[in-house]
């Protein structure tokens, strides 16, 4: 039972354009969401997070949007750069004090120069 779903296995975007990565979840108990970036043969690197009490969080070129009613979040990267090419994982915690991250399967982003 996939509680965090990333339905697009891959995405290609031209350099300089916007990349939008989507994530859906089914568990209403999830209250904190994170995006991780992963290069081949490396571990996931924390990118940006959002609490369920917010609907937007911005950090430089990266913005995460949360739509609680739709159980949907998205990561926007503007402008996209070739170095952004990686696999992006959406992950979630459920409840205060929760320590177990639930991950999606990831979306492979390719930014074309």
Partner 1 sequence: NAGVMQNPRHLVRRRGQEARLRCSPMKGHSHVYWYRQLPEEGLKFMVYLQKENIIDESGMPKERFSAEFPKEGPSILRIQQVVRGDSAAYFCASSLGQGREAFFGQGTRLTVV
Q: Which is nearer to partner 1, 2 or 81 (CB)?
A: 2
Q: Which is nearer to partner 1, 106 or 111 (CB)?
A: 106
Could you tell me the smallest distance in angstroms from the CB atom of residue 106 to partner 1? 6
3-class SS shares of the chain: helix, strand, coil, % to 5: 5, 55, 40
Q: Which is nearer to partner 1, 43 or 60 (CB)?
A: 43
Q: How large is the C-alpha radius of gyration of the chain?
A: 13
Interface ranges with partner 1 (CB under 8 A): 4, 32, 34, 36, 41-46, 49, 89, 91, 93, 97-106
List, in sequence order, every residue forming a beta bridge with 88; answer none if it has no partner.
Answer: 37, 107
Rounded distance between C-alpha atoms, residue 19 and residue 77, angstroms: 5
């Amino acid at each position: 039972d996939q509680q965090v779903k990333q339905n697009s296995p891959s995405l290609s975007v031209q350099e300089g354009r916007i990349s939008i990565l989507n994530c859906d979840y089914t568990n209403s108990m999830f209250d904190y969401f994170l995006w991780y970036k992963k290069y081949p043969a490396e571990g996931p690197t924390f990118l940006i997070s959002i609490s369920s009490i917010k609907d937007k969080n911005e950090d430089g070129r990266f913005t995460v949007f949360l739509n609680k009613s739709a159980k949907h979040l998205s990561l926007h990267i503007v402008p996209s750069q070739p170095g952004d090419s990686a696999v992006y994982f959406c992950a979630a915690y459920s409840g205060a004090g929760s320590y177990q991250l639930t991950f999606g399967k990831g979306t492979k982003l390719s930014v074309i120069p």
